[in-house]
Amino acid sequence: MDLKKVKISGIGKAVPERIMTNDDLAKIVDTSDEWITQRTGIKERRVSDDKTATSDLCIRAAEDAIKMSGIDKDEIDFIIVGTVTPDYFFPSTAGIVQKALGIGKCAILDIEAGCSGFLYALAVARRFIAFGGYRHILAIGAETLTKIINWEDRNTCVLFGDGAGAAVLSPADSESCILSDALSGNGNLGDLLIMHGGGSRNPISQKILDDKSATICMENGRDIFKNAVVSMYDMAHETLNIAGVTTEDVKWLIPHQANLRIMDSVIKKLGIEKEKLLVDLEKYGNTSAASIPITLTDFVENGTIKKGELVLLVAFGAGFTSAGTLLRW
Ligand code: UT7
């Protein structure tokens, strides 16, 4: 079977206007700018207001991505949203985005793969186009994690922020295309990062609200740290091996932006020079599924990533999931 090559034809991002600095957080919990900066590399994050849901950020990011791709919105035949903070349990956030964009007929799907959600969305979208039948697919990573934070828990509230990044995937007519991808998961580690309350195991009740268990629970940040380094290292190698290239061929590395120390450990283990590591974590914190497309958009827009360069994306996240994508921009 003749599989089609697939490229990213447009990208875009959206973040809420409100900035919350480390000093702002130090007024709420027992923390400091020094601790957060040294342990994570984060200086500030964006926080959405009461009226803004995840789909609102998706829509803004998607509009930019569609504009850059040069296609008409009605040419989109699939919308995939990676998120753990959907507007509702149902209907899907992808459907809300479809309605808001005014796209008459297309497939819609939400993917729940934690911080790897955008790379999972890319991998699914790539195959639908590669096998034929679908031409232009909107793949989005988006979160409003600040809506599920326990603002009394300093272990977690300093880490996360809100945002969305979108990509339009289209058939490729040149060397600029996705070269390889890989996905993985390890449900045995699911308890490391979990929201205990609000689902079918522990439905919403007064107790769930009182003990704040419908918020992010992370009891062992160090274990996540270690697993993040190993899994992103593994996925980087697997993705490069599939494409038949080495770390030397990679021009830019965009890891999931969770913690600067995690990213530093990954490049050290991979033997990749620091100059190749692209980071904007200091501005947005950990935006989960949105972090990679936001960083990709920022560094394409500022001219760092140029046509023809190899860009490696790697992610890890709740689940536990991990993923890698190698593309020639
Ligand atoms: O998308 C995935 C999401 N999760 C992650 O990415 C988490 C990955 N893990 C990490 O990024 C790091 O483990 C953290 C940043 C969460 C923590 O850094 P660490 O170097 O592993 O610190 P630690 O958990 O070992 O805690 C060191 C100390 C503790 O105090 P004691 O026990 O040494 O007295 C904590 O209570 O730092 C304390 N601490 C804080 N202090 C000030 C924990 N959080 C804070 C805080 N401000 N926000």
Q: Provide the residue ranges of all domains of the chain, joining segments of one domain with +.
A: 6-174, 179-328
Q: What is the pLDDT of residues 253-287, one digit of tens each?
A: 999 999 999 999 999 999 999 999 999 999 999 99
Mean of all residue pLDDT scores within the chain: 97
115 is catalytic: yes
> Which own/partner contact pairs does 70-75 have at CB distance under 8 Å and 24+ positions apart?
70/9, 70/10, 71/9, 71/10, 71/136, 71/168, 71/170, 73/101, 73/102, 73/103, 74/103, 74/104, 75/135, 75/136
Taking only the tens place, the pLDDT of each residue in 139-166 is 999 999 999 999 999 999 999 999 999 9
Would the pLDDT of 1 be above 70?
no
Q: What's the mean pLDDT in 194-213?
A: 97
Among 174, 166, 163, 164, smallest CA distance to 73 is for 166
Q: How far is the CA of 40 from the centre of ligand 1 (A)?
A: 9
Catalytic residue selected from 115, 157, 177, 217: 115
Residue 39 alpha carbon to ligand 1 centre in Å: 7
Do 178 and 13 form a contact (C-beta atoms < 8 A)? no
Q: What is the C-alpha to C-alpha distance for residues 77 and 86, in angstroms, rounded to an integer? A: 21
256 catalytically annotated = yes
The pLDDT of residue 218 = 96
Pocket test for ligand 1, best of 20, 39, 189 (most atoms within 8 A of CB): 39
Answer yes or no: is pLDDT of 3 > 90.
no
Whether 302 is catalytic is no
From residue 293, how far is each of 9, 119, 121, 128, 297 by CA, in Å?
A: 13, 9, 11, 20, 6
Question: Is the domain covering 6-174 a CATH 3.40.47.10 domain?
Answer: yes
Angle of helix 93-101 relative to helix 54-69, nearest 10 degrees? 50
Same topology between domain 6-174 and domain 179-328:
yes
Distance (angstroms) between ligand 1 centre and the Cα of 199 equals: 27
The residue with tokens 């929201």 is 195
CATH (one of 1.10.645.10, 3.30.70.2860, 3.40.47.10, 1.20.1070.10) for 179-328:
3.40.47.10
Does the CB atom of residue 229 touch ligand 1 within 6 A? no
For the cut 70, the answer to whether the pLDDT of residue 120 exceeds it is: yes
